[in-house]
């Protein structure tokens, strides 16, 4: 099984969703001596049991297609939010949660679980490098398969608790919780040969981000002035949590 995953790791295009850029020649001094054995590169994915695998701190289930990773509450007050999750080296002054996981590892988990990346929320770039107000056309089947649900688990007063992450975010104008619209796995992109989600630290964005792995699909995802941590729902800053990603399921219609 791990040998099979090595094929994914070998393809840089699968790590970022785009073809790998041309690489510069390797300097001769970096090559091993002729008589020096070269160790085989092993994949960093390891099997935990019959269903679960792990890469770095990201654990994913090939049967349920669920992905889990550790994070912590970063903002619980009345600060405006632009992101749901960022890396600790990213825009922590704008994010509800912070994590230390590698965006590349998370992206690989998505790829290994066969989530297609939908670029529908990545603004088209103009010739001068600026972003337009246009967005790519994406087939309906890809859009549907790229939609995901984001939840969170944590312990409070010795009890295990869980919530959907949209329940932790409120709309500043209405005071209501964020709508339960799906989040969308987009896969980020590559800029100057670097994986944008890794370099920016943008994991999941509320306010649309071209570098984020995940974007929110609901109303006002183009505004950076309306989203706030939901009062009394978000635990205190520093609370350790587990972010849970799963395929999006449409709410059952009421009779």
Write out the DSSP string of 173-241.
Answer: TT-PBPP-PPEEE----EETTEEHHHHH-EEEESS--TT-SEEE-STTTT-SSSEEEPTTTSPPTT-EE
**Residue 74: pLDDT band by 50, 70, 90 thresholds?**
very high
Choose between 24 and 84: higher pLDDT.
Answer: 84
Residue 200 CA to residue 72 CA, distance in Å, equals: 18
Strands 183-185 and 147-156, how do they pair? antiparallel
Backbone angles phi, psi at 174, to 5 degrees: -100, -20
The tokens of 204 are what?
A: 């999941």
pTM: 0.83
Distance of CA 231 to the CA centre of its chain: 25
Q: Is the pLDDT of residue 40 over 90?
A: no
**Residue 32: pLDDT band by 50, 70, 90 thresholds?**
very low
**Residue 254: pLDDT band by 50, 70, 90 thresholds?**
low
Residue 150 CA to residue 163 CA, distance in Å, equals: 9
pLDDT of residue 44: 81
Q: Average pLDDT, stretch 224-242? A: 96
Q: Is the pLDDT of residue 111 over 90?
A: yes
Distance of CA 21 to the CA centre of its chain: 22
The helix/strand count (H/E) of the chain reads as 5, 16
pLDDT of residue 35: 57
pLDDT of residue 2: 54
**Residue 132: pLDDT band by 50, 70, 90 thresholds?**
confident
List Cα–Cα distances, 8 to 4, 50, 247, in angstroms.
Answer: 7, 20, 21
pLDDT of residue 33: 52
For 108, what's the count of Cα atoms within 13 Å in the CB-facing half-sphere?
A: 26
Residue given tokens 């085989």 in the structure block: 40
């Amino acid at each position: 099984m791990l040998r099979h995953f090595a094929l994914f790791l070998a393809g840089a295009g699968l790590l970022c969703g785009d073809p790998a850029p041309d690489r510069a020649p390797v300097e001769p001094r970096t090559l091993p001596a002729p008589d020096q054995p070269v160790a085989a590169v092993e994949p960093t994915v390891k099997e935990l049991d019959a269903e679960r695998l792990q890469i770095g701190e990201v654990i994913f289930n090939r049967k349920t297609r669920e992905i889990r990773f550790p994070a912590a509450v970063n903002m619980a007050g009345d600060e405006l939010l632009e992101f749901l999750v960022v890396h600790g080296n990213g825009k922590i002054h704008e994010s509800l949660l912070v994590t230390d996981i590698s965006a590349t590892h998370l992206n690989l988990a998505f790829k290994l679980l066969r989530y297609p990346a939908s670029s529908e929320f990545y603004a088209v770039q103009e010739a001068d490098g600026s972003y337009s107000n246009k967005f790519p056309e994406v087939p309906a089947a890809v859009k549907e398969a790229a939609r995901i649900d984001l939840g969170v688990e944590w312990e409070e007063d010795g009890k295990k608790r869980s919530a959907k992450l949209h329940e932790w975010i409120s709309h500043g104008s209405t005071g209501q919780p964020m709508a339960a619209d799906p989040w969308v796995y987009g896969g980020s992109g590559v800029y100057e040969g670097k994986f944008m989600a890794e370099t920016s630290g943008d994991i999941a964005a509320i306010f649309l981000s071209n570098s984020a792995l995940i974007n929110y699909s609901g109303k006002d995802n183009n505004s950076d002035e309306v989203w706030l941590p939901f009062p009394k729902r978000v635990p205190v800053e520093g609370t350790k949590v587990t972010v849970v990603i799963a395929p999006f399921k449409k709410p059952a219609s009421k009779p």
